[in-house]
Structures are given as C-alpha cells and as structure tokens.
Chains A and B, each alone.
Chain A
Amino acid sequence: MTIARHRLPRPAGPARAGPTRAGLPGALRAEWTKLRTEPGTAWILAAIFVLTVAVGAATAAATRCGAGTGCAIDPTKVSLTGIEVGQAVVAVLAVLVISGEYSTGMIAVTFTAMPRRWTVLAAKAVTLTGLVLAAAVVAVAGSLAAGRLILTGNGITAAQGFAVVSLAHGPTVRAAVGSVLYLALVGLLSLGIATIVRDSAAATGTVLGVLYVPPVIALFLGSEPAWQRWIERYTPVNAGLAILNTTGLRHLAISPWAGLGVLAGWAAAGLLAAGLLLRLRDA
C-alpha cells in the first residue's frame, strides 16, 4: 500500500507576506526595532563610551616618563588602553542581540516571521555593527582627545621625542580608524560565538574567555617564544590589537593591518559557523 503525498495548497493573496516585509530590509527594520526598544541597549552603548574613555584617561594619567630615562611610550596606544575594557561591553551587546532571544523564547517568533535564517543573522550583524561603529567612533575620539590632553600635561610631548596623538600623524589616524573597526569586528565575532552557544550566560563567559585568555597565555609563555609568537600572530585579540601600535612597528609579531585581517577572518569564520548551525539546528 502506498500513501499518496498530498501537496498543501500554497497560501495565496493577502495571507502571503509582501515582498517589502520578507527581504533583508524588512529583517533589518525588525532587528533595529528590537534593539532600539530593548531598555539595556542605550546603557550598553553609554558604557562602551564611558569605560573606554575612562580607562584610557586613567592609564594616561598614570603614565609618566622622566627625562632621559629612555622609556618607550606609545601615546596613541596608551590613550586607547580603554579598548581592552570597552570590547567586553561590545561583546555583551553582541551576546544580547542573539542570546536574549533564546532566553525569552523570542527566537521562535523571529523565525516564524522570518524563516530565512541567514537573513536574520545578516540583519542582526548589520544592526549590531552599525550601533557598535557609532559608539566606537565616539569612544575612540574621546579617548584620543583625553589621552592627548593628559599625556601632554604629564610631559609626554613632541619636544621630548614622543609620537604625540595628532590627526596629522599618519599612524595615529590608522590606529584610530583601526580601533573603531576592531570593536566592530569583536562585535561580529561575539555575535557568531553567541549564536553557536545560544545560552546567554555561557555565551558571555565563552566570548570573554576568547577575548581575554589568549593574551595572558601569551604573556606566560616567555620560555616558549615560538608558541608565544604563534598566539600573537593568530589569535583574534592579540593579532587585532596590533592595530593600536604607532611606534616600534618593526618589533610587532604581525603588522597592524594584517592583525586586523586575522581578527576579520575569525569573525567571518564565527559567523559562517553560526549561520550553518542556525540552519541545521532547531531554534
């Protein structure tokens, strides 16, 4: 006996979603609305700015260099120290974008409204990147302004031979643009990881582990220079943060833009794995 397969009639007419709602623009609008109306978002964006600038300014304030002691201070890098903390907040925002939906069950509604999972992920990535870029531009500009002011007050001046934070200084501009991109890429990498992990707390822990564990491992591998160099060249944060350097570039394990490229590669791989898992797994 065979069972005949019946094809359900496709819904026609007004019951079908219109083309303006189903594509990427519709998904983008939906994601933007979700993120915009989430009460935490504004606080998180403010925290990215405040923590980045505050930590950068505090570091600049603690940086002193007596005349003739020959200390090698990179003023731009010192001013942008806050990126190390700001990236944690960016990661939290990225985790909330996806894991927040899993913890409330909202994800089922999202996929009902927009069954194309790649489109949902792309819309989330674009929305997140837009917000992070906006916050990062303000945070980096604030950090550099504060760093310039404070370091000059501490006697770290061009007259002493330091590469002072200045828009006329090519490497400073590169570091500024690069660190904005760095934060955006950290956001995308975190989004990928959070989509894979799904649970919000576990995702936060995993993302922060990925951000903070390799740098310390590299630090303690002083007796194994080959491993240390490998970590500095190929892990997301170590390689990506090479972009902050404006002096002593010859001594870097990886050149600034290549380092950012490594981070971009990790972010792309994370998003790719996340997209595949989104398609393969049940929500």
Chain B
Amino acid sequence: MTATITPYRPPQQAGRAGFVQLLHAEWTKFRTLRGWVIAVVIAAAAIAVVGVLLPHSGQSHCGSRSGAACLALLATGPGGEAVNDSYYLAAQPLAGDGSITVQVTSLTGLVSSGNGGFAGPGSPPPGTLIPGLVPWAKAGIIITGSTRPGSAYAAMTVTGSHGVRMQYDYTSDIAGLPGSVSAASPRWLRLTRSGDVVTGYDSADGRGWTEVGVARLAWLAGTVRAGMFATSPLNFTPNFPTYAEPGGSLSASLATGAFDDVHLRGGAPGGRWAGQHVGTIGANYDGPRIGLRQAGGQFTVTGSGDIGPVVAAGTNSIFITGTLADHLFGVFIGLLIMIVVAAMFITMEYRRGLIRTTLAASPRRGRLLAAKAVVIGLATFVLGSAAAAVAVIAGSRIAHDSGIYILASGWPIEARVILGTGAMLAVASVLALSIAAMLRRSVAAVAAVVVVIVLPYILGVSGVLPASASEWVLRVTPAAGFAVEQSVPQYQQVVGHYGPPDYYPLAPWSGFAVLCVYAAVALGLAAWLLRRRDA
C-alpha cells in the first residue's frame, strides 16, 4: 500500500512572500555585513585606482616635443583610426577617370640582421642588410587622393607571403591570386577609377582578368595620384612562443618591386613618373637604397614602412599606443574579491545555520537563490561599472596627456567596454554564488570559484602556457568573459601580438556569452540541488 503525503504549506500572506520582499531581505543581509561591503568597495577601488595609475606611467617623446603634442604627428585614416602611411611612390596625376595597369615581375627585400631594434624616427638601426622578405612586404599599384599621410586610397599589391591583395582605406584587405611572384610567374595588376569608385583586377597572364574588389572612396575627388609603390613593415623575429610575452626582435626592412609593361590611361600626355617618399616618419629604413629606378620601360621601386592600421602592441608603429583594456588590468583583482564575497553570501548562511531560518521564511528555494543572484549581481554590476568607468575614462585621458594614443576610442566603444566589464563581474559573481550554493562549505567554495574563474585567466594571460594552450583556455573557460574588455579589432594584414590584454581569441560578446553559459548552467544546477537536498 502506498500513501501519498501532501506536505502542509501555509497559506501565503499577501505582501510578505513576494519576490520583492525576498530581494529586500537578501539586500539587507548583504548590506548589513560590514566586512562584505568593505570588501566590495575595496574591489571597486582596486579596479579604479589600478586603472588610473598603473599603465603607461611614462611619457612619450618625439623629437623636440613630448606628451600629447606627439599625437599630432600620428596620421589618421578616413575612418578616424590611427594608421601607418609610409611608402615610396612613383606617380602621375590622374585628373578624371582612368586606369593603371602593370606587370610585376619580382618582389625582393632586405632585412636588417640581428637585434637591430628600432630607435625612433630618423635614426636608422644598426646591423647589416641581408636578403629577406617580410610576410607583408608590398609592391604594386595605388590610386591615392593625395600624398598626405592618412589620405584615402586603393591599392593592388603583391605581398611577401600572402599572394596578391587588394587593400583600401587602411583597414580593408581582400585576397586575390595566391602564390609568390617571380620572373617565371609574374602578376598583372590593374586599378580603374570611375569617380570615387576604384575597382581592382589581377591576372596571371595579362589577358584574362579577374575582379578582386570594388572600393568606394568617399574622399577621393578631383585630381588624384596613380602610380607604383613599395613598402615593407618592420621585420619581427619571435624568439619565445608564448601568448602573452611576444618576446622577439624588430629590425628594419625594405622591399623592391620590379615593374614592366606600365600603362596609365587617363593621365596627362607625356607625363613622367615622379618618385616621392610618402610619410617619412613611419619608414623603418631610411637610406640611399630607397627610391625609383628606371631603365627603358622597366621600373624598380624600393620603399620601407607600411600602409595599414596601427594595432596595439603591433610591430608597425613608432608611436606608443594603448587600448581601453590596458586600463582594466585591475579588474581581475576586483573580480577575485567580488567572487569570494559572492561565494560567502551563501556559504555564510550554512555556517551559521541561518539558512534554516531563511528557508522557513521563504520556502520556495529556487526563488531564494534567484533573489540572492539578483542582489549580488546588481551590486557587483553597479560597483564594477562605476569603477570601470573611472578607470577607462580617467585612465585614457591621463594616458593621452602623456602622449599615448588610445586606439579606437569613441563613446559607443567606451560604453560597451565599461558596461561589459560591469556585466562580466556580475555574471562571474552569480557563477561564484551558484558554485558556492552547490558546495555549501566556505573553504571549498572560495577555492573552487577562484580555481574555476580567476585561475584560467591567470594561466591564459601570464605566459605560463604555450600560445595554443593559452588561447584554448581563454576560449572554453569562464575566463573567456574577459574578452568583453576588447576595444580594437584584429587585422590579418598587420603582424602584431594579438594576445591579452588587448586581444582575446573570442569576440567581445562571444566570450561574454561563454561566461553566461557557465553561470546559467551552474545556477540551474544549484537551484536543483537546493530543492533536492536538506538544508
């Protein structure tokens, strides 16, 4: 015989058992424990103070100027982003519509041997030049609005090891024919201009042409310049393959493109190709080899520098750059404190036996956990966002005043980084609360949340692990949430150190979503266990 026993449930008193009252009760528990409040305030203060004081305490110097005055020398592209625009150009004016077609028969280069290093503008590094071609050495044809660094342009180029590319306005990069160029397998390149639209074509035989891409250059009007160019970014030799510490040496490099069969349609009759160094400040080699040589219908153009966006910790800029994420370094300290408080928010109830009183007052256990999650989540979100706002806004202004260019600022990105950081702290705290609700014991809970949330971040960014393992850790563990601090995009066409704290393997919101999935699963499990187990 089986008997079904229906547990007695007292009739709920109106106004007492509601979720709002539950929230109020949990908020009271949180705010009246002085130790917790002090801890959370210290966490927020750590984020703000570290962000304002720690990064970039130096000041940049450029020639006779220093500090913010240096930033005037930095070129910005049509989109407002910081760019490198330094190359050797052999061009003619192009008043209206027209096209330029060339055959590229070779791309060769020289790199400075040893740890030449790069001292600054106008100081060529020591070391002898040896044959070598950096991956993004470029030689090809370009149509540019002017020779002022940062002007709108479109280019078809052969590269050191990335085949033919069409690049325009610094950030766009489209792949064309693969393979390297040589006398045996030359490449034909063509750019046609029609108003502000430039179309790029490539060909392996000079007869069959393939369209690579179309660029609409809003700033390209009137007389533009069309011609051949060559440039070569700094040579980066990595010597230790960790993710966070891109140890390596930088040395000068230059590239030479050989052109044949050059046709300019739409240019002035009898125009001559005039050689010119564009943006000398960004050239990493400055010597007699740079320039244009002409023999009959054949041209060689040799240049040094880069045409492309500046990236954080990249290998192509002489300017000290930073990102918003540099100022959020204190976040992990704040996170460590906040998740310990979040874990104690529930384990303390078990230790003191308060949990029985709490559950007697509000028998619906899932709701209780939800109320705790809302209280700890909101508290950490508000404090975390406020602290991140101070760190990001004040920190980047201070950095700017000492001549450090903060890449990709602007209020929408700043707002996303600030609120995202607050949300990351909040979701991590909810995850910590859930883990603690499952484990119930303080020591186990605190150790578990630190090992699950903070330790992967430390392993991922500290360079203890090899690069592949670090990336993997920052993809699949809760530490993926730190991706929300990213404020600058990665560019495949620029060799750089795409690692923390500026870059993460996942996009900002994808990384945040990984953290959210962990928190949601843990919260669900915790609610289930809380209902199932005796308190």
Contacts and interface: CB of A to CB of B under 8 A. Distances in A.
A128 to B, nearest CB: 14
Interface residues of A, number: 42
Interface in B492-525: 501
B443 interface: yes
A103 B351 contact: yes
Nearest to B344: A201
Contact of A96 (B57, B443, B462): B443
A71 interface: yes
A216 to B, nearest CB: 6
Interface in A77-118: 78, 81, 84-85, 88-89, 91-92, 95-96, 99-100, 103
A224 interface: yes
Contacts of A72: 239-240
Contacts of A81: 464-465
Contacts of B501: 220
B469 A59 contact: yes
A4 B248 CA distance: 82
B contact face: mostly helix, strand, loop, or mixed: helix
Nearest to A70: B239
B240 A103 contact: no
B469 A58 contact: yes
Nearest to B465: A59
A78 B343 CA distance: 32
B458 A215 contact: yes
Nearest to B447: A92
Interface in B437-486: 442-447, 450-451, 454-455, 458-459, 461-466, 468-469, 472
B340 to A, nearest CB: 4
A219 B463 CA distance: 9
A contact face: mostly helix, strand, loop, or mixed: helix
Contact of B56 (A40, A73, A89, A223): A223
A63 interface: yes
A83 B26 CA distance: 39
A177 interface: no
Interface stretch (B81-89, B195-203, B296-304, B331-339): B331-339
Nearest to B241: A71
Nearest to A71: B241
B236 to A, nearest CB: 14
A205 interface: yes
A76 interface: no
A213 B333 contact: yes
B55 interface: yes
Contacts of B468: 62, 64
Interface string A183-209: 000000000000000001111110011
B359 interface: no
Contacts of B340: 201-202, 204-205
Contacts of B465: 59, 62, 81
Contacts of A78: 466
Contact of B443 (A63, A92, A209): A92
Query: Which of B337, B459, B468, B469 has the most CB atoms of chain A within a 10 A radius of its CB?
Result: B469
Contacts of B455: 84-85, 88, 212
B58 interface: yes
Interface string A45-69: 0000000000000110011110001
Interface in B176-225: none
A103 B351 CA distance: 8
Contact of A216 (B35, B343, B462): B462
A221 interface: yes
Given A72-B240, A216-B461, A220-B54, A204 B447 contact: yes
B175 to A, nearest CB: 24
A19 B216 CA distance: 94
B113 interface: no
Interface in A205-258: 205, 208-209, 212-213, 215-216, 219-221, 223-224
Contact of B54 (A59, A100, A221): A221
Interface string B338-349: 001001100110
A161 to B, nearest CB: 15
Nearest to B332: A216
Interface of B: 35, 54-58, 239-241, 244-245, 329, 332-333, 336-337, 340, 343-344, 347-348, 351, 442-447, 450-451, 454-455, 458-459, 461-466, 468-469, 472, 501
11 contacts: A59-B466, A71-B241, A99-B443, A103-B351, A200-B446, A201-B348, A202-B340, A204-B442, A213-B336, A219-B245, A220-B54
Q: Considering the complex of A and B, which 3 residue pairs feature the smallest CB-CB distances, nearest first?
A: A62-B469, A205-B340, A201-B442
